[in-house]
Structures are given as structure tokens and as C-alpha cells.
């Protein structure tokens, strides 16, 4: 029942560890969440009193352990004490006290607030201990004052409530009405929970039993164990069935929950094995018949909630089960936030409705939100639970209506986690239970539940446990007592009557309408400026904008092949290029990232592996001409192209050297080809940008000024691109290792914030990163216990911070997976949330109104990418919908751009209008602008209209266009007024918009300072010589009037330089050397001089010739 983290995996597995001798051990299926098991000979065999032990966490120098004590007698035990042998030092203990320690023998007793164990009660005792090698053993129990359980209820101090006379339920009678209370019981615990005992003790007749999961052999079993399948003759399985029978005989019933946070659901197992919905339906139906169930609960959380193909399989199967068992009720239990279900959760419900599932109800897990979604200082957990219920009801009302169905409050369930949640800052108290019950009764809520009945006990304050709430002051069964009379909960035969606490009457809350507020806003006025050429893009802050300054998003796909020895996009051997590009367009991609190599442009590089019957217009073309064809057709169908320098020589993956050049293709060739492409496609807005180089890694650095400084190289390459075509976006990837550590090749931009790329033209820089899942390489963070919830922080420190802080736009240039593992699926789901705008992982979007999220290009279109596969299956036709469907939520279609010429004359001023809570019905409000010091017409354009909030929506925006000018004036204001609300009230009716002046008074010109000049003088001296070599010295003098920052010298010399000082050799091609300054002598002041020397093997007396400094020929 853990919607937003995997924290409770440990708790779930802990309860299963107590099988000891009864159930064979098997490997854990998720992370490191299965504690060490105690073997049978370490347990004291006692029929009356069972003791279990499990190691919860072992860190080498110590551990955390838990003892489990179960009263299997027929008497209440008081003042119990337990002795045992243990060769470790216990440092801390909770839910018990240490009485004594003699050598290795410990004696412990019950906690100060309660040393009593009722019949069937389970008590967990936790502790931490130091180093050692063994587990506790030799358990001996003593209990004084044992009292026989009375056969009749004791006389309470206040007049007793006479329980109504009941008889056991008649088989086949449906006890599940429109409202009921059915708490969860964890059936993975050992000894088996005493269901009818719990029901009698707490007065609860309907129970939800968790969890049925996939066993290793692909069956349904309690806690995922083969020996615990329905119908098994294993002692444990028989005990579970006996408890269900006993509860029913006493007048109660059970609903079984399938799934849960830990383990694997049967649907996931069937999907991985490629089995169909009929097979899954048969397995579900057999279980329903075996356990004689009238209700099923499907708990879908964690990675499972985003597995769209698995969800479809599951819902199709459930619908088939209901066709043959029309009376079977189905509940869907899903993670939730105070703001409602996530998009993934909504997709689960929609899939059920589309498949034809008769959904009895949707149960939301109101727990473990995290401080970002539910700050504990603002509201109580009860209030957040009510917020979540209201928001979910609004969502379901809209969703069911879209499928031609209605949704009532009796179809909504709420399940909190009692007491301390897995996120321990969250605490659901008895006061919260009272508040939620008042709400439930007022609305007629269909189901109240809780995680879990096993935990409805007092315990050490703030402690998280499977056996108590972490609330020391509550009575046993306090939550069950509060909710036990809710709805149609049947009375259990022999139940001990519980005197309800006397509480003041609570007046049901008056239904209030949501409030509408509007915020103040300001914007810098701006000056009129020339419009960006039609179709091209530019940047501002972290947004990519079109020529009309509308935020846009690149949402594309990689189509590789030009960079390989095929010198053509792959797949042309089986399909036509136009046919494939039409398919890309139809799937919602708006851009193609097109990798190429420098070798593509060599005369001998001939495109090959092309079926010219399918691509007749490509016959006889070279690589560049073929690229022209791809670009041309992309323009015809409205797609954009990003050219990607993927490598230097033709081949696969990135350059082996990790750098942007090789000996055969030096930096000068790299820059020449970048400039050539920029110039070739100048004026063709289909090509919107160039990715300067793919995946710098290894020796590539960022910001250290060395010859391998990728930041400086990107500036040289980027400025060369802009010199040839100033309309292009310059896309700069990261490196492998920087201040944040090591990550994916090209994925580390952690130094870019402090050392940004400096281009000669503003508004053109886009940073780019690559990211992949564990199947590509097992980065250490994939094994973190908090995975995948740790991913947003990993992405933020490496590249996401550039977008989050508004520094620059970010393009996720490559990401992809075969999605064959649960880990990869979790990574993909979390990445989709991140791209949707959930930058901190709290389940809500962090994007400002009207803004677009991070741009992306998926790797890859091609199915022949070994690590990831592709959008297409191996037949190069069939679409992998498991990859494409999640991308639909982050796709974008470029709008039509009208500002092709002229000037940009206005700046948008955007107001945010918000609802205090989602409404189940549409909310409307009118708005109109009004003058302040700013006047309509001269300073801004009037705007008025009506805003409509659909059910579930809480945010809207109003944009007013501000006129740009060059007039020096004070800041000006205008107002936006709200009126005539419907289904809501006005909290704030008027907002002020401030137009910030950015013009300054003209300054009296001063005589211009002569422009600085630059020039160089070079002197060469041979300082020593011998028969086979010599030492030379070159001096460079700055003869200009301005300082020189960074110098590069080129010259021809046949001799081989074997040593150099005060400079760095960048490259040598033939006889041509390129030399760059060292890190300490890059600046030459006006009139100053620097020198560097070198040692040569060669002909004594040979001189450097054809010398250039910073591209300028010198004598």
C-alpha cells in the first residue's frame, strides 16, 4: 500500500520472514528487502507461545533485528518475560525492556505501558545490536498472572451496550453493501493472523486480505509463495484457509487483494511470459472459485502503475472473469496525492472502463505523499486524505462521464496508513480518523479501510513497525473502534462489545465551494525587435521559443545510419524513407535527430544497403545529397531536423577516444564540416540546430582550459556554426566526469552552471544530456534502496538543474530501453514524470503556467540498437506501443508561425488564476482588464472573457499583451478583475500587473575611443643543434593595442617534435602542426611577449614555415 516509495518493502518482507521451518526460503524479487531468516533449530518449539526472529538490516559492524511473540494460548498473558541466548550486545530496544543480561543470556519483559498479551495477539520487539555471528536462540517464556479468557463480556464501568443477536452468515449471502469498513490484514505474517479472533476482538466483520502475488512458477500465492497457493496442502496454506472459514462461520467475509508494493503481480508475470488475457482470466477465476469470493481488490502501485501493456492485459482478463461471474465486484486500489490521482493512476482506471470492467470502486491510498506534496506543517493527514478524496471524486466524475458512465461517492474508498507512515514525518492519528469518518458519513463514502489491522496497537512513539502504530497513548484497536460501525459492517458472533469513547457531537461540515484567487504579476516591457525568421527557433531562459515567442518543445526520435559505414539511415533496405518518415509523423514525433560522421562527406563514402526499388529517387546520390532528400521531405511533412556530429570516422557509437577529433579527422575538419552544413541549409528552417558532438567522454574535460576542454571546443564549433547560419540552435552535450562525479557519456553538465558555453549570439544555446537505464549499464544509483525515487535528484545534479534554475533549455538527446525488466520500466515511468515537469519527484508538475518541459529525442527509431531496441520491432514496421504510449503525454506539435517579417511589438503579461480545491463540477469566472497608470491602447491591449475550470482542474492563465516601446517612463500598472463566479466563490477579485520600464535616457556621446587593434610579431631562434636534432624557441609578441586572451599558432615543419614546453600540441597532420597556449600563458598584454620551446628529432637547422597566429599569417 505504498504509493510513492519502496520503503515498506522491508516491512512487507519482514512479516514473511517468520515462516522459519514451515516455508522454504527463496530469493528476494525486489532490491535488498528480504531479511535474513532464522532456521528452525534456532527457534524454541512451543505450542502455546510462538517466537520468531528476523534480521531486518545488517551493516557488518551491527544489525537491526526483530523478535515476534504470538500468544497462541487460550488465556490472556500478563507480565510476560522472555529469556534467550545472544552473543551480541543489544544497544537499543523498543516495545520491550531489558530486565537483565548475564553473559550471553538476556531477559526482557513487556513495555512499561503494556505488559499484557491478549489471546492471539502478536507483539513485535525491535532492537539494534553490535557485532557478532549468531542469532538469538533458546527462547523461554514465563508469564505471571495468566488469566483465562472469560466466556462472557466483562461488565464495563459504564452501562454496557448489548450486542445485537446474530447468527453466522448464510453461505452465498452478500455482506458487502454500498458502504463498508474492510481493513487490510497482512496474510504474509506467521503465525497466520487469527482472522475471527481479530474480528471478535476489534468488532470488524469484513476484512481485505493482502496480498496474492505471482509465485516463481507463475501461480497465485499468498505473498508470492508456491506453497501458499489456494488449495495447497501445506500447513501454512491450510491454516490460512481455516481462518477464512472461521471468519465466515462467525458471520464475516473477506475480499482478497492482488498485487501490492513488494513482489510481482500475476499480470506482470503473465505479460513477461507473453501469455494472453484468457489465460490470466482463468487463473483469476480459479482463485475466486477456490476461495468463494464476492469481491476482489487489485492493488496497483510502484512501477506496475505505469506498465500500460500489463494494465491492458490485466483489465481485459478481469472483464473476462466478470462475464462468467457477473456478481463479482472489483475495486482498484491506487496511489494518490492530495491533488488527486496521478496521470498513471487515471490511465489505469480508464483502461478498466475501456476493457469493460464493472468497477465497484476506486480506493485511494492516502499515505506517504512526501513533504513536497503534503507539507506536514500545513495540514493534518486527515485533511490531506479528504483533499485527496475530493480531488479523486472530481477526476472520476469526469472520467466515468467520458465513458458514458456515472460515478458516485459510494464508489470511492479511502485507505490511510495508521499512525507513523513510511515517510515518518507523516502521522495519521485518531483525531484524523474522526475527521475522515465525519467526511465519509457526510458523503456516503463506499469504503473505509486502513493499513493495517495487524498494526492497530499502541507502540513506542514515532517508531515504524508492522505490529503497532507508533502511538503510545492509543488503546488497542483504537482505529477499529472508531470505524467499526461504519456502513454495513456485520456483527461477528461472540464479539467482545466495546464501549465507544464518549466524544462531543460533531456537526457534519457544511459543503463549501472552492475559492478563486488571482496573483499579481510583472513583466519587463521590452523594445521592439526584428522577428526571428519563420520556422526557426531561439531561446529565452529555459524555454525554446518559436518566431512568435511561443514556448515550444522538441519531441523527436533518433534515426541512425548516416554515421555508419552504410552512409545512409538504416532500414532503407526494407522500406522507403518517405514511408518511414510519414510513420514517425503519425506517431507524434516532431523532430528527427540525424547522426552523421565526418567521413560521410569524403569522396569515397558511397551510401549502401538501400533497396532502390523502394527508394528510386536515392539512386546515384552521395551521402550529402541523400541527407538533402531527408531534410527536404521532412520540410514537406512539417517535421524538423537536428544534425548530430556523432563521430569522426564511420562506425558505431561515439568516438573511441572520447574527443571530438581524431588524427584522420582533426578539429579543423570537424569545424569545416559544421560550417559547411550550417551554410548549406541556411534559409531552410527545417534544419533547426546542430548537435556539435555526440557523447564526449574519457579524457574530455569542462572548464579547465586544456587542449581537451570540451567547453572551449564547443565555443569554437558553435561560433563557427552561427557565423555561417545565425538562425540555428547550437546544441552542446556534457562530458562523462565532472564535479558531480561520473555518469553517462555526454550526460554530465554539472560544470556548465559555473562555466557556461559562451557564444557570440544570445538565444541560441541548448544544453543536451543522454540518460539510460540499468540494463545498459548498472550505475550505482540503480541499486539505491530508494530507487526509482532517487532518480530526479540524480538527473538534477548532472543536468536538470540547468532547466530547473532557468539557466538554459535542456534537450534529452538520447534515452531508451527494451523495457524488459522491472527496473527499466520503473526508470522509464520516472523519466516520463520528469519530462512532464515533475522535477522534484513529488508527483506534481513544477512548470510555470504556459511553459514547456524539457525537450527530448528518443533513442531510437531503429530496432537494431543492441542496448535498447527501437520504436519499431525487428520487422521495421510494427510499433512498440509500450514505448510510444507513455511518450504521448510529453509530445508537442509545432504551431503555425505568422511572424515571418517585421518586428515583435508586444510582450505577454501572464496572470495565474487558481482554485483552492478541485471541483466536481465546472467552475466559470469572468475577467476583464482595467487601466491603472498604464493606459489601454498605448500601453497594453484590452482583454476580457470567461475562464472555465473543468472538473479536477485548479489552474488557469490569462495573457495580456503589453506594447513594447523605447520611451523612458516610470513603471506602469494595469489590473485584471474577476467577476460572476459560478460554482465557486471569489477570494481575491483584482490582480495588479506591473509593466517594468527597461528604457534609459540617452547619454551625451563622448568622443569614441579608437578601436583596439591586434597584431603579432613572431621571432624564431634555434638555440642548440646536433647531427640528428635541435632545440628551437618561438616568441610571440602582441603588437596590437588590446590584450590577447588565448592564442593558437600553426606552422609547417617536417621534423618531429619530441618535447615541448610552455605550450601544448593540439594536432599534427602531415607536416602541419597546431600549437596552443598552456593554461598559464594564454593572455598576452598589449606590447608583451611570450615564448615557448621545443626539442626536435630531424634535420638540424630546419625552420618553421607558413606561420599563423590565431588564424593570421605572420612572417
pLDDT at residue 18 tops 60 = no
Q: Which of 121, 301, 667, 814 is catalytic?
A: 814
Q: Band of the pLDDT at 895, cuts 50, 70, 90?
A: confident
Give yes or no for residue 160 having a pLDDT over 50.
no
Which pLDDT score, from 0 to 100, does residue 1010 have? 62
**Averaged pLDDT for residues 439-456:** 93
pLDDT of residue 1002: 61
195 and 83 in one domain? Answer: no
Least confident of 85-89, 102-106, 568-572, 745-749: 102-106
- Residue 695 in any domain: the answer is yes
Q: Is the model's pLDDT at 117 over the cut of 50? A: yes
- The DSSP H or E segment spanning 235 is helix 235-249
Please tell me which residue in 66, 307, 695, 733 is annotated as part of the active site: 695
Q: Let me know whether 990 and 1020 are in one domain.
A: no
pLDDT at res. 1005: 56
Q: What percent of the chain has pLDDT over 90?
A: 57
pLDDT at 75: 77
Confidence bin at 494 (pLDDT 50/70/90): low
Same domain for 1104 and 1020 = yes
Residues 879, 906 within the same domain:
no
- Are residues 919 and 850 located together in one domain of the fold? no
Question: What is residue 139's predicted lDDT score, i.e. its pLDDT?
Answer: 80
Q: What is the CATH number of the domain that holds 809?
A: 3.20.20.80
| Mean pLDDT comparison of 260-274, 535-549, 728-742, 1006-1020, highest-scoring range | 728-742
Q: How far apart, in whole angstroms, are the C-alpha atoms of residue 910 and residue 944?
A: 13
154 within some domain: no
Query: What is the reported pLDDT for 904?
Result: 58
Banded pLDDT at 219 (limits 50, 70, 90): very high
Residue 155 has pLDDT above 50, yes or no: no
3-state secondary structure at position 975: strand
Q: Is residue 156 part of a domain?
A: no
Do the Cβ atoms of 830 and 815 come closer than 8 Å?
no
Going by C-alpha positions, the residue among 352, 458, 480, 479 that lies closest to residue 411 is 352
Residues 342 and 376 in one domain: yes
Q: Are residues 641 and 720 in the same domain?
A: yes
What average pLDDT does the segment 921-932 reach?
A: 92
Distance (Å, rounded) from C-alpha 303 to C-alpha 773?
14
Residue 939 located in a structural domain: yes
Rounded Cα distance, 909 and 682, in Å: 33
Q: What is the CA radius of gyration of the chain?
A: 36
Mean pLDDT, residues 725-748 taken together = 96
Q: Are residues 196 and 131 in the same domain?
A: no
535 within some domain: no
Confidence (pLDDT) at 502: 43
Residue 1030 pLDDT grade (very low, low, confident, very high; cuts 50, 70, 90): confident
> CATH number of the domain that 1040 lies in?
2.60.40.290
Residues 912 and 870 in one domain: no
* Residue pointed to by grid coordinates 618531429: 1056
Three-class DSSP category at 802: helix
**What CA dihedral angle connects 472, 477, 479 and 480, to 10 degrees?**
170
pLDDT band per the 50, 70, 90 thresholds, residue 1013: low
Higher pLDDT, 790 or 145: 790
Rounded to whole angstroms, the Cα distance separating 700 from 77 reads 70
- Over residues 783-794, mean pLDDT: 94
Q: For residue range 1066-1087, what is the model confidence (pLDDT) as tens digits?
A: 888 888 999 999 888 989 999 9
pLDDT at res. 225: 87
> What pLDDT was estimated at residue 715?
95
Do the strands 105-109 and 97-102 form a parallel or antiparallel pair, or are they unpaired? antiparallel
d(CA 551, CA 538): 10
- In the predicted model, what is the mean pLDDT of residues 682-697? 95
Question: Are residue 606 and residue 726 in the same domain, yes or no?
Answer: yes
pLDDT confidence tier of residue 894, bands split at 50, 70 and 90:
confident
Q: What distance in Å separates the CA atoms of residue 374 and residue 380, rounded to the nearest whole number?
A: 9
Lowest mean pLDDT of 619-628, 670-679, 987-996, name the range.
987-996
Is residue 168 domain-resident?
Answer: no
Looking at the fold, whether 306 and 439 belong to one and the same domain comes out as yes
Residue 382, domain extent:
180-483
Establish if 979 belongs to a structural domain: yes
pLDDT at 153 over 50: no
pLDDT digits (tens, 9 = 90+) for 517-563: 998 888 777 776 544 445 789 999 999 999 888 899 999 999 999 99
Structure confidence by residue, pLDDT tens digits, 167-209: 344 344 578 989 999 999 999 877 788 898 888 887 789 999 9
Q: Which of 963, 996, 1029 is the last residue of a domain?
A: 996
Rounded CA separation 347/23 (Å)? 38
Question: Among this protein's residues, is 695 annotated catalytic?
Answer: yes
Question: Going by C-beta distance under 8 Å and a sequence separation of 6 or more, which residues neighbour residue 512?
Answer: none
Enumerate residues 6+ apart whose C-beta is below 8 A from 667.
660, 661, 713, 716, 1066, 1067, 1074
Residue 1028 confidence (pLDDT) above 80: yes
Does pLDDT of 893 surpass 60?
yes
Are residue 563 and residue 627 in the same domain, yes or no? yes
For residues 746 and 737, give the distance between their C-alpha atoms in angstroms, rounded to a whole number: 9
Total number of domains constituting the chain: 5
Residue where a domain stops, chosen among 144, 170, 193: 144
- Structural domain includes residue 283: yes
Say what the pLDDT of residue 1014 is: 66
Mean pLDDT on 271-285: 94
- How far is 310 from 1095, CA to CA, in rounded Å? 68
Q: What is the CATH number of the domain that holds 939?
A: 2.60.40.2030
pLDDT score at 119: 78
Full-prediction pTM beyond 0.85?
A: no
Last residue of a domain, one of 869, 888, 907: 888
242 HSE (CA, 13 A, CB side): 12
> Is 504 a residue whose pLDDT tops 50?
no
pLDDT tens per residue, range 59-82: 777 888 888 888 777 777 888 888
Q: What is the pLDDT of residues 305-359, one digit of tens each?
A: 989 999 999 999 999 999 999 999 999 999 999 989 988 999 999 999 999 999 9
Flag whether pLDDT at 108 surpasses 50: yes
> Average pLDDT of 953-973?
85
Average of per-residue pLDDT across 251-259: 95
Given a contact cutoff of 8 angstroms between Cβ atoms, the answer to whether 732 and 718 are in contact is yes
CA–CA separation, 970 vs 716, rounded Å?
Answer: 42
Please state the separation of Cα 228 from the chain's center in Å: 34
Amino acid at each position: 500500500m505504498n504509493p510513492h516509495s519502496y520503503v515498506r518493502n522491508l516491512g512487507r518482507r519482514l512479516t514473511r520472514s517468520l515462516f522459519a521451518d514451515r516455508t522454504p526460503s527463496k530469493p528476494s524479487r525486489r532490491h535488498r528487502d528480504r531479511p535474513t531468516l532464522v532456521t528452525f533449530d534456532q527457534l524454541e518449539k512451543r505450542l502455546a507461545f510462538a517466537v520468531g526472529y528476523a534480521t531486518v538490516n545488517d551493516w557488518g559492524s551491527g544489525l537491526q533485528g526483530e523478535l515476534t511473540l504470538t500468544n497462541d494460548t487460550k488465556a490472556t498473558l500478563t507480565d510476560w518475560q522472555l529469556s534467550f541466548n545472544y552473543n551480541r550486545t543489544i544497544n537499543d530496544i523498543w516495545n520491550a525492556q531489558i530486565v537483565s543480561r548475564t553473559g550471553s543470556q538476556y531477559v526482557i519483559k513487556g513495555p512499561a505501558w503494556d505488559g499484557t498479551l491478549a489471546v492471539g495477539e502478536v507483539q513485535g520487539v525491535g532492537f539494534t545490536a553490535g557485532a557478532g555471528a549468531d542469532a538469538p536462540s533458546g527462547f523461554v517464556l514465563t508469564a505471571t498472572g495468566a488469566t483465562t479468557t472469560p466466556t462472557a463480556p466483562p461488565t464495563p464501568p459504564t452501562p454496557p451496550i448489548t450486542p445485537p443477536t446474530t447468527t453466522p452468515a448464510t453461505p452465498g449471502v452478500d455482506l458487502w453493501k454500498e458502504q463498508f469498513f474492510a481493513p487490510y490484514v497482512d496474510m504474509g505474517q506467521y503465525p497466520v493472523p487469527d482472522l475471527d479472533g481479530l474480528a471478535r476482538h476489534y468488532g470488524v466483520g469484513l476484512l481485505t486480505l493482502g496480498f496474492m502475488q505471482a509465485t516463481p512458477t507463475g501461480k497465485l500465492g499468498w505473498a508470492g509463495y508456491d506453497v501458499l497457493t489456494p488449495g495447497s496442502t501445506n500447513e501454512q496454506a491450510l491454516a490460512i484457509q481455516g481462518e477464512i472459514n472461521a471468519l465466515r462461520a462467525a458471520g464475516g467475509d473477506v475480499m482478497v487483494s492482488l498485487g501490492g508494493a513488494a513482489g510481482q503481480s500475476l499480470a506482470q508475470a503473465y505479460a513477461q511470459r507473453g501469455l494472453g488475457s484468457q489465460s490470466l482470466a482463468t487463473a483469476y477465476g480459479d482463485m475466486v472459485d477456490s476461495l468463494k469470493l464476492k469481491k476482489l481488490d487489485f492493488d496497483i502501485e510502484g512501477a506496475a502503475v505505469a506498465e500500460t501493456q500489463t494494465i491492458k492485459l490485466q483489465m481485459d482478463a478481469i472483464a473476462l472473469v466478470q462475464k462468467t461471474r457477473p456478481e463479482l465486484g472489483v475495486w482498484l486500489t491506487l496511489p494518490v496525492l492530495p491533488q488527486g490521482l496521478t496521470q498513471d493512476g487515471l490511465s489505469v482506471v480508464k483502461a478498466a472502463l475501456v476493457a469493460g470492467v464493472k468497477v465497484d470502486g476506486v480506493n485511494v491510498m492516502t499515505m506517504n505523499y512526501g513533504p513536497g506534496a503534503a507539507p506536514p506543517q500545513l495540514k493534518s493527514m486527515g485533511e490531506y486524505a479528504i483533499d485527496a478524496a475530493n480531488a479523486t471524486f472530481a477526476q472520476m466524475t469526469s472520467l466515468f462521464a467520458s465513458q458514458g458512465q456515472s460515478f458516485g461517492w459510494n464508489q470511492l474508498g479511502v485507505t490511510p496508513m495508521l499512525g507513523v507512515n513510511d515517510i515518518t514525518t507523516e502521522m495519521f492519528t485518531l483525531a484524523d480518523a474522526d475527521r475522515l469518518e465525519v467526511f465519509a458519513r457526510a458523503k456516503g463514502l463506499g469504503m473505509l479501510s486502513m493499513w493495517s489491522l495487524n498494526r492497530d496497537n499502541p507502540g513506542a512513539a514515532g517508531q515504524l513497525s508492522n505490529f503497532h502504530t507508533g502511538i503510545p497513548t492509543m488503546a488497542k484497536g483504537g482505529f477499529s473502534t472508531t470505524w467499526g460501525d461504519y456502513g454495513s459492517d456485520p456483527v461477528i458472533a461472540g464479539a467482545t462489545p466495546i464501549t465507544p469513547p464518549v466524544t462531543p457531537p460533531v456537526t457534519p461540515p457544511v459543503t463549501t465551494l472552492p475559492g478563486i484567487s488571482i496573483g499579481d504579476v510583472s513583466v519587463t516591457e521590452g523594445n521592439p525587435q526584428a522577428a526571428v525568421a519563420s520556422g526557426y527557433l531561439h531561446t529565452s531562459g529555459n524555454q525554446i521559443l518559436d518566431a512568435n515567442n511561443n514556448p515550444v518543445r522538441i519531441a523527436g526520435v533518433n534515426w541512425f545510419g548516416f554515421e555508419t559505414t552504410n552512409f545512409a539511415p538504416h532500414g532503407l533496405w526494407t522500406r522507403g524513407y518517405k514511408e518511414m518518415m510519414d510513420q514517425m509523423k503519425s506517431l507524434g514525433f516532431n523532430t528527427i535527430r540525424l547522426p552523421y560522421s565526418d567521413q560521410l562527406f569524403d569522396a569515397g563514402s558511397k551510401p549502401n544497403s538501400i533497396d532502390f526499388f523502394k527508394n528510386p529517387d536515392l539512386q546515384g546520390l552521395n551521402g550529402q545529397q541523400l541527407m538533402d532528400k531527408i531534410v527536404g521531405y521532412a520540410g514537406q511533412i512539417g517535421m524538423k531536423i537536428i544534425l548530430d556530429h556523432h563521430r569522426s570516422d564511420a562506425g558505431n557509437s561515439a568516438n573511441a577516444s572520447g574527443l571530438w577529433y581524431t588524427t584522420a579527422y582533426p578539429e579543423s575538419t570537424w569545424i569545416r564540416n559544421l560550417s559547411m552544413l550550417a551554410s548549406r541549409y541556411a534559409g531552410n528552417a527545417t534544419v533547426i540546430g546542430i548537435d556539435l558532438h555526440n557523447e564526449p567522454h574519457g579524457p574530455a574535460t569542462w572548464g579547465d582550459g586544456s587542449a581537451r576542454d570540451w567547453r572551449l571546443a564547443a565555443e569554437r564549433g558553435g561560433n563557427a556554426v552561427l557565423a555561417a547560419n545565425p538562425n540555428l540552435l547550437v546544441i552542446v552535450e556534457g562530458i562523462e566526469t565532472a564535479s558531480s562525479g561520473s555518469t553517462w557519456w555526454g550526460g554530465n553538465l554539472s560544470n556548465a552552471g559555473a562555466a557556461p558555453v559562451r557564444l557570440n549570439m544570445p538565444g541560441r544555446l541548448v544544453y543536451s544530456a543522454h540518460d539510460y537505464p540499468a540494463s545498459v549499464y548498472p550505475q550505482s544509483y540503480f541499486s539505491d534502496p530508494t530507487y526509482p525515487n532517487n532518480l530526479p535528484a540524480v538527473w538534477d545534479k548532472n543536468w536538470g538543474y540547468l532547466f530547473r534554475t532557468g539557466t538554459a533549455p535542456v534537450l534529452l538527446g538520447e534515452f531508451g530501453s527494451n523495457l524488459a525488466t522491472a527496473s527499466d520500466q520503473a526508470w522509464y515511468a520516472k523519466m516520463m514524470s520528469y519530462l512532464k515537469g515533475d522535477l522534484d519527484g513529488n508527483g506534481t508538475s513544477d512548470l510555470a503556467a504556459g511553459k514547456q518541459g524539457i525537450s527530448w529525442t528518443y533513442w531510437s527509431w531503429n530496432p537494431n540498437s543492441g542496448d535498447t531496441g527501437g520504436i519499431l520491432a525487428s520487422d521495421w514496421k510494427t510499433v512498440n506501443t509500450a514505448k510510444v504510449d507513455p511518450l504521448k503525454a510529453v509530445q508537442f506539435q509545432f504551431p503555425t508561425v505568422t511572424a515571418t517579417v517585421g518586428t515583435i511589438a508586444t510582450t505577454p503579461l501572464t496572470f495565474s488564476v487558481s482554485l483552492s480545491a478541485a471541483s466536481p463540477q465546472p467552475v466559470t469566472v469572468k475577467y476583464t482588464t482595467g487601466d491603472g497608470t498604464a493606459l489601454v491602447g498605448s500601453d497594453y491591449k484590452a482583454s476580457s472573457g470567461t475562464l472555465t475550470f473543468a472538473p479536477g482542474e485548479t489552474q488557469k492563465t490569462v495573457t495580456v499583451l503589453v506594447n513594447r516601446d523605447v520611451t523612458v517612463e516610470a513603471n506602469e500598472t494595469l489590473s485584471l478583475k474577476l467577476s460572476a463566479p459560478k460554482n465557486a466563490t471569489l477570494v481575491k477579485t483584482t490582480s495588479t500587473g506591473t509593466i517594468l520600464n527597461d528604457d534609459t535616457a540617452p547619454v551625451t556621446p563622448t568622443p569614441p575611443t579608437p578601436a583596439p587593434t591586434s597584431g603579432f610579431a613572431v621571432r624564431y631562434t634555434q638555440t642548440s643543434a646536433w647531427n640528428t636534432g635541435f632545440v628551437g624557441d618561438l616568441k610571440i609578441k602582441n603588437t596590437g593595442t588590446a590584450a590577447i586572451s588565448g592564442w593558437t599558432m600553426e606552422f609547417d615543419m617536417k621534423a618531429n617534435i619530441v618535447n615541448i614546453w610552455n605550450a601544448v600540441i593540439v594536432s599534427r597532420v602531415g607536416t602541419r602542426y597546431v600549437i596552443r597556449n598552456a593554461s598559464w600563458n594564454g593572455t598576452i598584454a598589449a606590447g608583451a611577449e611570450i615564448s615557448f620551446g621545443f626539442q626536435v628529432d630531424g634535420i638540424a637547422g630546419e625552420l618553421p614555415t607558413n606561420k599563423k597566429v590565431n588564424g593570421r599569417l605572420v612572417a
